[in-house]
Amino acid sequence: MASSSPPEVRLPTAEELLYRVDPNLSAAIAVRNYLNRMTPAPERLERVSVTKLVNPGQAYYDVVSPLEEEIGAFQKRMAGTGAHDRIEELLGLPAEYWLDGKDAAGEPALDRITAKLDSYVALADGSYVPVEIKNVGSSKPDPAIAHLEQLGMYCALLSSGKGLILRVLRNDQTGESTLLSPLEVRYPDLDLVRREMARRRDLLIEAVAARDPSKLPACSWSRYRCKYREAGVCGCSSRPPLEPNIAATATWKEAPEFLKDIERHQTERLSERREHRTQERLTPARLLLLRKVYFDIAGGDEGAIETEEGAGVGKAVAKVNTRGLESQLYAAIRGANRSRFGQSQAALPGVKGTSLSTIDGNPFLVKVRMVRNPVSPTAGEAAGKWGVPEEVRKLAVQAVLTGATVGRLYVWNWKLEGDEGRKLQVLDLKFHAAAMAQVESFVRGAPGLLAAALARKDPGSLPLCPRWMCPRCAYLEECRPGPDPDAPAT
């Protein structure tokens, strides 16, 4: 009797896996509608956030007759919101903090004013210095007027004469983010700030109640694009100027010592992570990175071990905008599919149990692509170099782990101009059954393959990670993956 050969432990290529791609417009519309949802205008404003007080003219329309955002502005805002959360987590800053004006010291009273502080620094004397994280598109040294005004109002709510602005520069071409030097801003006249906050609060509440914005001042960014001006519903020149200008009283200087604190935290975080990684078993997300997992466990170069974000503050911050946008999209997908959303426990021997998100029991992934063109919805092109080959393979692994046979990909095309329904693509993927059987063999065989490579000290027996990762990998020298066949010729 002929002996049957053991199943091959190899993850099929995206081309081998992908059978069909069905663009799902309804699913994309559901997410867009969720993201664009507008709340009905209230009869009167009960609470006024500090962000509304920064530009009360625009806040009036946002409350009474909001307009949908142009897609580019929408993308920046969503990426910025998501980046905030990631920066706080990466840099070890205390999480967001609510402030209520009715508890603030000083005159006049700031009741009905609320604020969500990005973070703070607690000083030894028991006082707090507010920290405002800003996502910016330019590295010019001076902070924006609106940012100075917002921080000044937080300082007034905390009775702090100074605050910190932490700016993250977003590169819209590469998607990479860089931390700029933190700024320490001083506000010598907090009484002026308080008076101006109370005045703007009263003006805005009265304007909303009377549905009459005519007494509201022009916004501090009136020289920039504004959707209400473009729609012809408001005009800056018809408004009184924004005075007194809180920003005009502020002085600032660079605060490199704050960056040092952040770096210290990042070093601690990396060494904790390093210890964790050397003990960690395979996770579903790392099944495509067997070589990297090998070096993480084997120890690699002293000090070379990586986190997913890379080492150091610079690398940790680099992806905050794209990852931030992904996390915002994920939350919107969950919100738009509330009754169909689920969590499936991925449990296979040797693979760490992880909860994977599903819609209708099928796994999905979110991907931000730094490209101008949408994914071509044919199996050949979607699986090819200019498509989403890595996501196809990840989704196939997740499908096996969740007992599904199909998967869904939510793709956001960052550099694509305009929208026309292609900025967010939803692609339902179907896989070849034979290739999925091979994925199952791979998932079951990967822990053994890794253990054997570790025992033999033979990383070369493991498949390579996605090749775009190699140039910046800390293990490049030890691993010697060879030239990337897809790299552009030099």
Least distance in angstroms from the C-beta of 305 to ligand SF4: 11
The nearer residue to ligand SF4, 239 or 274, going by C-beta atoms, is: 239
Per DSSP, 208 falls in state H
Q: For residue 369, which phi and psi values (nearest 5 degrees)?
A: -105, 135
The CB-of-63 to ligand SF4 minimum distance in angstroms stands at 12
Sequence-separated (6 or more) residues with CB below 8 Å from residue 56: 200, 203, 204, 207, 216, 217
Least distance from C-beta 51 to ligand SF4, angstroms? 14
Whether the CB-CB separation of 3 and 443 falls below 8 Å is answered with no
Distance CA 134, CA 244 (A): 23
Please report how close the Cβ of residue 19 comes to ligand SF4 at its closest, in angstroms.
28
- For residues 363 and 344, the answer to whether their CB atoms sit within 8 Å is yes
Name which of 226 and 329 has its Cβ closer to ligand SF4: 226
Strands of the 48-49 sheet, one edge to the other:
48-49, 113-117, 97-100
∠407-380-286 over CA atoms, to 5°?
Answer: 45
Q: Decide whether 43 or 477 has the Cβ nearer to ligand SF4.
A: 477
Tell me which residue of 214, 249, 246, 250 sits closest to 54, measured CA to CA: 246
Burial code of 1-24, b = ≥16 C-beta within 10 A, e = fewer?
Answer: eeeeeeeebebbebbbbbbebebb
Cis peptide before 389 (omega within 30 of 0): no
Beta strands in 50-118 (DSSP E): 97-100, 113-117
Q: Which is nearer to ligand SF4, 6 or 232 (CB)?
A: 232
Residues that bind ligand SF4 (CB under 6 A): 55, 57-58, 61, 218-219, 222, 226, 228-229, 234-236, 239, 291-292, 295, 464-465, 469-470, 473, 475-476, 479, 481
Quick one: 64 or 236, whose CB is closer to ligand SF4? 236
Considering beta carbons, is residue 130 or 217 the nearer one to ligand SF4? 217
Q: At 390, give phi and psi (nearest 5°).
A: -65, -40
Cβ at position 54, least distance to ligand SF4 in Å: 11
Query: Measured from the CB atom, is 375 or 479 closer to ligand SF4?
Result: 479
Minimum distance from residue 6 beta carbon to ligand SF4 (Å): 24
**Residue closer to ligand SF4 (CB basis): 190 or 218:** 218
Distance CA 480, CA 483 (A): 9
Task: Compute the half-sphere exposure of residue 319: CA atoms within 13 Å on the CB side of its CA.
Answer: 15
Compute the least distance from the CB of residue 311 to ligand SF4, in Å: 13
In whole angstroms, how close is the CB of 197 to ligand SF4 at the nearest point? Answer: 18
